[in-house]
Chain A
């Protein structure tokens, strides 16, 4: 009978609602700290210290004004992060795309070992690099410089990018290359006109990941940067060290610093999940 759901479908719908509520409740664990940070960022500092914590209060945008245009504005360090992350991403893609193509498709003696080497470099703990880099960059005068920071950032972005791109390149049907060969296209032309358009999606995912990791990096930034190159993560940390209790300003500044990443994350949510899972889902079939 239309209109009146049978007992069975009602039970089914009820079960769905209960499950949704349960999962939603669990997910609150992940949303809540962020919502709380947003609320705190809209309070005055005295309101932040109210007990019990207030949920209804007079909203102020003063913290955001201070974070952006005040005495310790976060904007210069955001520009620094933008420069470092963009340069890192650009160089990484430039170097990783050809290497990934060779690893995925071309015959190369010792390819297996070279691939293994690339994978191994990705596993080096950052603290094992920050110590020698401090001594080396200090010696050549590259501490607190953009070229120093970008060089160091290549250590984690490049192996990652090569491996992510390899997994996308392996998906391109071989026939496309072979057709190009038959048309007497040069190898370089094949790469440029046939392969590259096919992996645009993969390159986009790689760009997002590399940019995100570079923007969020802290260990190298805090130790190898300084007054000239102070990425936004270091600025945040310094702010808390100096102004222990100015939580509203901290929240506002941190949210501003993270907004580009949050927008990127939500906009590219599908691609990011795909990038995260490329290894997991394909890993089943590949040795």
Chain B
């Protein structure tokens, strides 16, 4: 135990200001690297969103004012991509949460062998999203030879061009994303369920509460922090999902699976219009900030 005299020494040491200096010394490298590698490029991005920077037509380069942003307002491809971003994010996060929670509740009921499920669940998480996209594009979803199409036809349905027609392509990229990241929700929720105190259940069981009511009134409120964290983290990731969609459909066919993230990318690196691409990226940044602040606000507001 630390006695009062020792407390005094510690306190004096904390107040001498040497702590402040030492702390500054420790955070200085991290903060300066972040300023240089993240904030500076972001400022550059915002600056370039007010410029004409087109590597295909460099003679037009120069200050553009609000032109890029004004163009966005009447750009139907932009509004389409916004719509797809909303559909993609909301549906994939919802599916991950619903399936992940269902699976976690199911596995919690199993008395032994949970480790097996945890190992299996780690596999999709550690795969590179680009590899996941490529696997699905070829082995799983390719027309005729893909295993999914084989199963569909074996069940007596017509062959579907999963990635080659608009609606199935959007559904496919949502399924691919959900496939890869549901295990994340599953593992987080499983850990959070396993950490719950068993005595609250005992009390409820004595009260003869039904399983459903136990879930709604006891389990759900207790694991709400974990659910909120899953929703926040997965929404951020879904909003800027890239590699799996890029590998599976490239945003196509046409623009059928082109979420805003891909549109900003293609405008910059395919059409070489970096000014407009920057403006699109800035709008994605704003959306990400807005969504995360709303979610964080809900997280703190609902607790009190």
**Do B106 and A22 touch (CB < 8 A)?**
yes
Report A142 CB to chain B, min CB distance, Å.
Answer: 12
Q: A178-B10, A266-B122, A273-B122 are in contact. Are A254 and B42 (CB under 8 A)?
A: no
- Residues of B within 8 Å of A277, CB to CB, are 187-188, 191-192, 226
User: Which one, A34, A99, A233, A262, contacts B27 given CB within 8 A?
Assistant: A99
Q: Which A residues are CB-close (under 8 A) to B239?
A: 125
**Is there a chain A Cβ closer than 8 Å to B22's Cβ?**
yes
Query: Quick one: which of B31, B126, B226, B289 has the most chain A CB within 10 A?
Result: B126
Q: Quick check: which of B72-80, B163-171, B198-206, B264-272 contacts chain A, the rest being far away?
A: B264-272
CB nearest neighbor in B for A186: B22
Contact present for B277 and A131 (CB under 8 Å)? yes
Task: Name which residue of chain A comes closest to B180, CB basis.
Answer: A30
Stretch of B62-70, B209-217, B278-286 that contacts chain A: B278-286
Partner of A31, one of B120, B126, B127: B120
The smallest beta-carbon distance between B133 and chain A, in angstroms, is: 9
Q: Which residues of A contact B147 (CB under 8 A)?
A: 36, 53
Find residues 15-37 in chain B having any chain A CB closer than 8 Å to their own CB: 18-20, 22-27, 29-31, 33-34, 37
Interface string of A249-287 (1 = CB under 8 A from B): 011001001100110111001001110110111011001
Residues of B near A188 (CB, < 8 A) are: 22
From A37, A124, A257, A266, B38 is in contact (CB under 8 Å) with A124
Contact B48 A30 (CB under 8 A): no
- In the assembled complex, how far is the CB of residue A242 from the closest CB belonging to chain B, in whole angstroms? 13
Q: Is B288 an interface residue (CB 8 A)?
A: yes
Contact A181 B106 (CB under 8 A): no
- Checking A23, A49, A126, A240 against B240 with a beta-carbon cut-off of 8 angstroms, the contacting residue is A126
Q: Which residues of A contact B10 (CB under 8 A)?
A: 178, 181-182
> How far does the alpha carbon of A136 sit from the alpha carbon of B184 in the complex, in Å?
35
Interface residues on A, range: 35 or more
Kindly list chain B residues whose C-beta atoms are within 8 Å of the C-beta of A16: 109-111
Find out whether the CB atom of B44 lies under 8 angstroms from the CB atom of A132: yes
Docked complex Cα distance between A103 and B23 (Å)? 8
B179 touches A30 (CB 8 A): yes
Count residues on chain B whose CB falls below 8 Å from chain A CBs: 101
Nearest A residue to B137 via CB reads: A240
**Judging by beta carbons under 8 Å apart, are B135 and A218 in contact?**
no
Q: B102 to chain A: closest CB distance in Å?
A: 8
Majority SS of interface residues in chain A?
helix
Contact stretch, chosen from A65-73, A105-113, A196-204: A105-113
Q: Which residues of A contact B107 (CB under 8 A)?
A: 23
User: Which residues 111-165 of A have a CB within 8 angstroms of B?
Assistant: 111, 114, 117-118, 121, 123-136, 151-152, 154-155, 158-159, 162
A281 cross-chain contacts in B, Cβ below 8 A:
191-192, 195, 225-226
B19–A216 touching, CB < 8 Å: no
Contact with A48, one of B135, B145, B230 (Cβ below 8 angstroms) = B145
A83 to chain B, nearest CB (A): 17
- Digit string of B35-53 for contact with A (CB within 8 Å is 1, else 0)? 0011101101100100001
**Contact among A30, A40, A95, A130 with B139 in the assembled complex (CB-CB below 8 Å):** A40
User: Are A136 and B44 CB-contacts (below 8 A) given A106-B23, A218-B242, A283-B225?
Assistant: yes
Residues of A contacting B39 with CB < 8 Å? Answer: 121
B278/A131 in contact, CB under 8 A: yes
Q: Give the distance in Å from the alpha carbon of A52 to the alpha carbon of B26 in the complex.
A: 62
The proximity string for B residues 112-124 relative to A, scoring 1 for CB distances below 8 Å and 0 otherwise, is: 0100011111111
Chain A CB within 8 A of B173 CB: no
Evaluate whether A247 and B138 lie within 8 angstroms (CB atoms) in the complex, with A162-B30, A181-B9 already known: yes
A-B pairs with beta carbons under 8 Å apart, 24 shown: A23-B107, A27-B120, A36-B147, A108-B24, A109-B20, A114-B27, A128-B285, A129-B45, A130-B268, A131-B48, A132-B48, A154-B33, A155-B38, A182-B9, A187-B22, A188-B22, A257-B131, A258-B126, A261-B127, A265-B126, A266-B122, A269-B119, A274-B191, A277-B192
Instruction: Given A27-B120, A51-B145, A123-B236, output 16 extra A-B contacts at Cβ < 8 Å.
Output: A27-B121, A31-B120, A36-B139, A40-B139, A101-B26, A127-B281, A132-B278, A134-B268, A158-B30, A178-B10, A219-B243, A247-B138, A247-B139, A258-B126, A281-B191, A283-B226
